[in-house]
Amino acid sequence: MEKLFSYGTLQIENVQKETFGRLLVGKKEILLGYILSEVKIKDQEVIRKSGKDIHPILKYTGNQLDKVEGTIFEISPEELAQADSYEVEEYVRTKGMFQSGSKAWIYADATQVGNT
C-alpha cells in the first residue's frame, strides 16, 4: 500500500468516487515545512470533478513551524497512478514528513522542484 496526503480536493467524496471508484479511508495528519497557497486550474475535467477552478497547493518553506492539516489515505499503487492522472501539471508528487514522524506522498507546487 501507498500513503497519500490530501489537503484539498482529493478529500471531496465526489472526487474520490470519480478518481478511485470508492471512498478512501484515512487518518488526520499534519505536514511540516509547507504552507498552503492557491492555483487556478485550467483542466476542464478536474474542474468538473472538483466543482472549482481554484485549488489549494503546497508551497515548500522548510520551516518546521509551518504546518498544513489534512488526511493520509492508504491506497494501492494503481490508485496512486490514478491520483497522478487527476493532478494537473502545476503539481508534482514528492515525499513529505509529518508531525507524527510518518512519511507519505504529497502533491506540491511543481515550480519548486529541486527546492524541497
Q: Assess contact for 29 and 72: CB atoms under 8 A.
A: yes
- Examine the pLDDT at 115 and tell me if it is beyond 60: no
- Examine the pLDDT at 116 and tell me if it is beyond 50: no
pTM to 2 decimal places: 0.89
Output the CA–CA distances (angstroms, integers) from residue 45 to 41, 56, 63, in the order listed.
10, 17, 34
For residue 88, the enclosing domain spans 2-112
| pLDDT attached to residue 114 | 55
C-alpha to C-alpha distance for 9 and 16, rounded to whole angstroms: 9
| CA angle in degrees (0–180, nearest 5) for 45-90-88 | 25
pLDDT (tens digit, 9 = 90+) per residue, 53-111? 999 999 999 999 999 999 999 999 999 999 999 999 999 999 999 999 999 999 999 99
- Examine the pLDDT at 112 and tell me if it is beyond 90: no
Q: Assess contact for 2 and 101: CB atoms under 8 A.
A: no
CATH of the domain at 99: 3.10.490.10
The DSSP code sequence of 42-108 is --HHHHHHHS-SEEEEEEE---TT-EEEEEEEEE-HHHHHHHHHHS-TTEEEEEEEBTTS-EEEEEE
Mean pLDDT of 20-38: 97
| pLDDT attached to residue 28 | 97
Judge residue 106's burial from the number of C-beta atoms within 10 Å of its C-beta, 0-12 exposed, 13-18 middle, 19 or more buried: buried
Amino acid at 15: V
Domain count, the chain: 1
- Examine the pLDDT at 13 and tell me if it is beyond 80: yes
